[in-house]
């Protein structure tokens, strides 16, 4: 009889442990971001311990699962001992098995899982603070087992993520093509969906305004000259530089000048400049979009690997990758960057970005992926293909496409004629290569 009492007492204690561990799982992982931020700033030791545990969420979860399952298995073993050693079910073993299974399941689910998790949902911070020291000890105790469990799950995660990333963009583009195959009236909607699908794979360098096309103001300009240049530019934000574009002092907002229009050339307009935001060429535009939102800015200066100015990118440039060209009431209608000679021949300015060429001619990005290497413009692609500076009249063929240099000098290619293949597939997927 005494042995039975101790066994039942052990089961009761283990149920309490199971409840605490189940509640802890909900408590730790249901803490809101605001509560977490408060804990980070707190000087209370238990708050710091909670933050320390949450800094390694996979390890914490592994410890909770190992501990909880160990406790529950022990409960099952003890319940088996009580059922079959203390009571005689030799004449009806199935009945004994059912009693043990139903009773233990009810105890564990009700008192070891449901009730503690409901309570922990309402009192998550209180439960987390109470269990933090114990979880810290268990974290250290089960480190070898946690390491094995985390390593196994990380391997599975990587394989699943790689598989998803390899097929998701292709499948989505194919699905869009099939969906809108016979619906010409929804071409704009189709382009928007494609823009969203490829948004995360486009780099800043592919959509920026290149250095030679930037409209900027020198810092030594008089106030009268400044007003004239800003008015002529038609832009609401203009970079200001000293000596060259590699030394940009700041960004001048047109609205900051409105209160000073009556000033003369003695007015020092330099304090109106705002700090420029610099980004690397290889930054993805989806990340830059988030930065723009967080920093409440609409423009960034793109720098190359040596820190020199490579170009400029605005929020409008990013949004145009999804919704297409954006023109306000002050914008003049822009001419297309190419001239169409017939169904297969087009003349482009050589400085046109490859991303634009793909878009206008509906060419699959992967067509020139192997050849383009680091090139982002049509001229850069031809330099990669030829290996030298082409001369006017030179023809370069690749993947069924014929490029004819229309105009060039000793330093650069100016214009190019592109002849599409006779069997060029129309409506190819406008995928963006991963750099």
- Express each pLDDT in 46-77 by its tens digit: 999 999 999 888 889 999 999 999 998 998 88
| 417 contacts 340 by C-beta, under 8 angstroms | no
pLDDT at 233 over 50: yes
DSSP H or E segment with residue 395: strand 395-398
Asked if 306 and 365 sit in the same domain, the reply is no
Shared-domain flag, residues 254 and 353 = no
Q: Enumerate the β-bridge partners of residue 311.
A: 210, 302
Asked if 204 contacts 313 with a C-beta cutoff of 8 angstroms, the reply is yes
Q: What is the CATH number of the domain that holds 369?
A: 3.30.465.10
Which range in 232-236, 300-304, 364-368, 424-428 is most confidently predicted, on average pLDDT? 300-304
CA dist list (Å): 96 to 79, 92, 102, 109, 232: 11, 7, 10, 20, 92
Q: What pLDDT does residue 424 have? A: 47
In terms of domains, do 67 and 129 share one? yes
Span 149-157, mean pLDDT?
Answer: 78
Evaluate whether residue 97 is within a structural domain.
yes
Q: Is the domain of 271 the same as that of 242?
A: yes
Q: Is there a single domain that holds both residue 319 and residue 342?
A: no
DSSP summary character for residue 111:
I
Q: Quick one: 207 and 258 in the same domain?
A: yes
Domain-embedded: residue 182: no
Judge contact between 276 and 251, C-beta under 8 A: yes
CATH of the domain at 224: 3.10.580.10
Do 216 and 119 sit in the same domain of this protein? no
Same domain (yes/no): 348, 374: yes
> Which of 56-86 are b and which e, b meaning 16 or more Cβ less than 10 Å from the residue's Cβ?
eeebbbbbbbbbbebbbeebbebbeebbeee
- Dihedral class, residue 84 (left if φ above 0, else alpha if ψ from -120 to 50, else beta): alpha
Q: Are 159 and 167 in contact (CB under 8 A)?
A: no
Answer yes or no: is 120 within a domain. Answer: yes
Query: Given a cut of 60, is residue 286 above it in pLDDT?
Result: yes
| Cα 405 to Cα 348: distance, rounded to the nearest angstrom | 10
In a domain, 10, yes or no: yes
In a domain, 430, yes or no: no
Q: By residue range, what is the domain housing residue 344?
A: 338-419
Check residue 312 and give its pLDDT.
94
* Domain boundary, last residue among 141, 158, 176: 141
The pLDDT score that the predictor gives to residue 386 is 86
Q: Are residues 205 and 314 in the same domain?
A: yes
Give the position of tokens 């001992």.
Answer: 81
Q: 140 is written with which tokens? A: 């250290």
Same domain (yes/no): 314, 359: no
Residue 148 lies in a domain: no
One domain for residues 365 and 234:
no
pLDDT band for 94, please (50, 70, 90 cuts). confident
pLDDT in tens, 387-399: 888 888 999 998 8
Number of domains in the chain: 3
Indicate whether 241 and 212 sit together in one domain: yes
Q: Does residue 21 belong to any structural domain of this protein?
A: yes
| Tens-place pLDDT, residues 333-371 | 555 678 888 888 999 988 888 878 888 888 877 778 777
């Amino acid at each position: 009889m005494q042995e039975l009492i101790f066994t039942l007492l052990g089961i009761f204690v283990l149920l309490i442990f199971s409840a605490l561990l189940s509640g802890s799982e909900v408590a730790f992982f249901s803490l809101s971001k605001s509560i977490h931020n408060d804990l980070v700033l707190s000087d209370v030791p238990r708050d710091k311990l909670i933050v320390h545990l949450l800094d390694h969420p996979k390890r914490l979860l592994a410890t909770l699962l190992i501990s909880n399952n160990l406790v529950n298995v022990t409960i099952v073993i003890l319940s088996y001992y009580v059922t079959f050693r203390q009571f005689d079910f030799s004449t009806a073993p199935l009945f004994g098995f059912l009693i043990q299974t139903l009773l233990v399941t009810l105890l564990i689910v009700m008192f070891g899982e449901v009730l503690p998790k409901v309570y922990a949902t309402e009192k998550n911070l209180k439960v987390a603070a109470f269990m933090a020291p114990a979880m810290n000890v268990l974290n250290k105790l089960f480190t070898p087992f946690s390491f094995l469990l985390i390593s196994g799950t990380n391997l599975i995660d990587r394989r699943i993520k790689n598989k998803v990333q390899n097929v998701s963009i292709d499948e989505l583009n194919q699905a869009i093509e099939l969906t809108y195959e016979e619906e010409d009236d929804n071409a704009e909607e189709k382009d928007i969906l494609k823009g969203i699908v490829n948004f995360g794979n486009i780099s800043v360098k592919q959509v920026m305004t290149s250095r030679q096309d930037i409209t900027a103001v020198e810092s030594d300009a008089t106030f009268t000259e400044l007003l004239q240049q800003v008015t002529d530019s038609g832009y609401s934000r203009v970079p200001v530089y000293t000596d060259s574009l590699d030394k940009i002092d700041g960004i001048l907002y047109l609205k900051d000048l409105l209160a000073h229009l009556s000033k003369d050339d003695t007015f020092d307009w330099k304090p109106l400049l705002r700090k420029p935001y610099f980004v690397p060429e290889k930054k993805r535009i989806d990340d830059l979009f988030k930065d723009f939102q967080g920093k409440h800015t609409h423009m960034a200066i793109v720098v190359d690997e040596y820190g020199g100015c490579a170009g400029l990118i605005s929020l409008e440039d990013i949004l145009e990758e999804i919704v297409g060209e954006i023109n306000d009431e002050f914008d003049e209608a822009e001419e297309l960057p190419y001239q169409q000679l017939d169904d297969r021949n087009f003349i482009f300015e050589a400085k046109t970005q490859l991303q634009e060429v793909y878009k206008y001619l509906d060419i699959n990005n992967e067509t020139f992926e192997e050849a383009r290497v680091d090139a982002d413009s049509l001229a850069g692609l031809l330099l990669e293909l030829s290996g030298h500076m082409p001369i006017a009249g030179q023809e370069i063929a690749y993947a069924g496409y014929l490029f004819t240099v229309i105009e060039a000098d000793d330093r650069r290619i100016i214009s190019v004629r592109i002849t599409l293949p006779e069997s060029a597939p129309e409506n190819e997927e406008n995928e963006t290569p991963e750099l």
